[in-house]
Structure 1
Amino acid sequence: MSEKETTNVVDQAESVIKNLKKNDKGTIGLKTSQIRKFLASVNVIRNKVLIAKGAQKNCDPLADVAVEVKMLKANLLYQAGREQGSDKFVNDFVQKSGLISKIDGVGKDYKKFDELCKYIEALVAFHKYYGGAD
């Protein structure tokens, strides 16, 4: 990923977090545990990809985990769907982050997967920085 692409991903993540719905206390309503749970799932897949990439130089590192990458979409939508109340902070996050289209766009493209990972890491970092709920 080029420096320009990384900067774009970081800027996009910051913008998303700044514009998330606030709770009645005026802080970001999305809980840290909700967003970190998703990051943990991404990191499990990323570790599998890195192991596959290191083990075999001529292999497609995403070939064995393509279904798991697609399952990230299901996991994210599940979290949004199980949310109670009218505020729908997770759904707001899903819509504003564009994660569904980013996950759909990965396919077996390692570069796009790496960009997705960096984007999610940036979302978590900015969520913490801007005071997301614990």
Structure 2
Amino acid sequence: MAGLNDNGRSYGGGGYNNNRSGYSNSYNGNRSSSGSYNSRSSYGQQKELPPEITPKKVPEDYVDEAERIMRSLMSQPKKVTTSKIRNLLSLVTDIYNEENIRTEEKLRPESVVKLNLMRVRVAYECGRDNRDDTVKTFVKQTNLLEYLKGISDDRADLIRFAHYMEALVAFHCYFSGKEG
């Protein structure tokens, strides 16, 4: 004779489990661990997370660093596109244009918010780059996330970071032979 378990699902009676959320053909409406979509074994190995982003300051010799990094990246078979780098540059350029005309040492709160959103956007672009990891490699080699986090609310740090981004674009164009 069929009845209901504590969850309101039918059991017994030899009937097929026809509930909407079940993926099981078991008679009692309970999923076995091997058929569970939440089971860790069904997904295989967990992907290791990248290390925590530690804030860094853009170095004084940022132009030399940009040249060295872009020379290295351009020698690899898969290269980040000029448009991708220019899209990242445009995010900081908007903030730079507002802050460059000011004289205060601290960034406006709105600019700090925009910088944090830029950090989110860079992380997103890395995460969606699952084809060939060109964006991830670019961001890692250039320390973009670390430098963005290192700006905090210092206007001079923002200006140096914006100039560093410009240098990256310039050397990318120089080494690729393509107009930016």
Is the TM value for this pair above 0.5? Answer: yes
For this structure pair, what is the TM-score category when the shorter chain's length is used for normalisation?
A: 0.7 to 0.9
Going from structure 1 to structure 2, the CA distance change for 1:96 and 1:132 (only over 3 Å counts) comes to farther
| Aligned structure 1 segments of 4 or more residues deviating by more than 6 angstroms | none
Structure showing the higher helix proportion among its residues: 1
Going from structure 1 to structure 2, the CA distance change for 1:58 and 1:88 (only over 3 Å counts) comes to closer
Larger RCO, structure (CA 8 Å, separation 6 or more): 1
Pairwise CA distance, 1:83? 1.7
Pairwise CA distance, 1:132? 7.2
* TM-score w.r.t. length of structure 1: 0.79
Going from structure 1 to structure 2, the CA distance change for 1:36 and 1:119 (only over 3 Å counts) comes to same
Letter in 2 for 1:48: E
Match of 2:129 in 1: 83
Aligned-residue Cα RMSD (Å) equals 2.3
1:10 aligns with 2:63: yes
Contact 1:16–1:97 under 8 Å retained in 2: yes
Structure 1 Cα separation of the partners of residues 170 and 141 of structure 2: 16
Max Rg structure: 2
* TM-score w.r.t. length of structure 2: 0.60
- Structure 1: stretches of 5+ with no match in the other structure: none
Q: How does 1:114-133 map to 2 (within 5 A)?
A: 114-131=159-176
- Structure 2: stretches of 5+ with no match in the other structure: 1-58
